Amino acid sequence: MVITVQHPRGGAVAGFAREDLIARLEKRARFIRRETVRLVAIAKSGHYTSVFSCAAIFAVLYDHVMRYDPSEPAWPDRDRFVMGKGHAAVGLYPVLADVRFFPPGWLDDYTRLGSPFGDHPDMRRVPGIDFSSGSLGHNLSVSVGMALAARQQGRDFRVYCLLGDGELNEGQCWEAAMSGSAFGLGNLVAIVDRNQMSLDGFTEEVIPLEPLADKWRAFGWDVRDLDGHDLGALLDAFAALPAPELGKPIVLDCHTIKGKGVSFKEAGREWHLGNLVGPDYERVMAELAEPEA
């Protein structure tokens, strides 16, 4: 099967085999995980597993879905990305560097004095960051405002908001969900990283979210349920989005595994925040290395 890839600024690029695209995205997701480990080693502390569960989502959004121009970070018609789980910014920075929002060498001083890159993203200092996120619960509201602004300005950009499932404990998320539906914001796409864990424990043991899909539907959203590590499913879900001016706001309920990609981190809460040293660091980097041809 041959598909057409969209240039980040919206124009069609040459078509090529779907399996080649998926292979490229798999490579990008491994790159994101490896760079996360490298940057956390500089900072001596960081959020590994929260990045690993959404690495495929980052890869698909920035390699295939979103419309943007690295040479013009404030381009008015760009798609917006708001990261509710701002503590996963360490996995987004390498993507922004790789698509040339800024030189990759800037990341070598991650979290050091004077660096623009902190544990959470700063829109005033990091090109390509649309909102200074990390205070959980505000981000869907911000995304509603951006989507409304697009309508008022007559622009057709989409707003993508990545939410942690633990973040959905915040009441403001559901106020925003009501607003997004009430305003008919078809240009708003929420993406839930449903790894079923928060710092406090399993989400269903802390404050149960299920039946989550039914909750979103009750709030008037169009719900798509999928495996958040299945690159083909992610590509299909984004390709099936209706035109931005049509329909309901959309939520992609992406079922993921916290720590995906590293055997001893998968589904483990103890690596939500930490630092790898010595043999543990080498073991993880070996697991994340590119497979031999």
Q: Which two tokens stand for residue 173?
A: 């998320």
Q: Per residue of the chain (293 residues), what is the pLDDT tens digit?
A: 444 444 444 443 445 688 999 999 999 999 999 999 999 999 888 778 889 999 999 999 999 999 999 999 999 999 999 999 888 999 999 999 999 999 999 999 999 999 999 989 999 999 999 999 878 889 999 999 999 999 999 999 999 999 999 999 999 999 999 999 999 999 999 999 999 887 777 888 889 999 999 999 999 999 999 999 999 999 999 999 998 887 899 999 999 998 887 876 765 666 666 787 888 888 888 888 877 65
Domains of the chain, first to last: 2-274 (3.40.50.970)
Instruction: Please give the model's pTM, rounded to 2 decimal places.
Output: 0.92
**How many residues make up the chain in this entry?**
293
**Phi and psi for 134 in degrees, rounded to 5?**
130, -25
- pLDDT, position 9: 44
Peptide bond connecting 211 to the previous residue in cis, omega within 30 degrees of 0? yes
**What pLDDT is recorded for position 161?**
98
Query: What are phi and psi for residue 248, nearest 5 degrees?
Result: -90, 160
Which spans in 191-267 are helix H? 203-206, 212-218, 231-239
**Predicted pLDDT at 18:** 87
Rounded to the nearest integer, the mean pLDDT of the chain is 89
The predicted structure's pLDDT at residue 291:
77
Backbone phi, then psi, for 95, in 5-degree steps? -65, -45
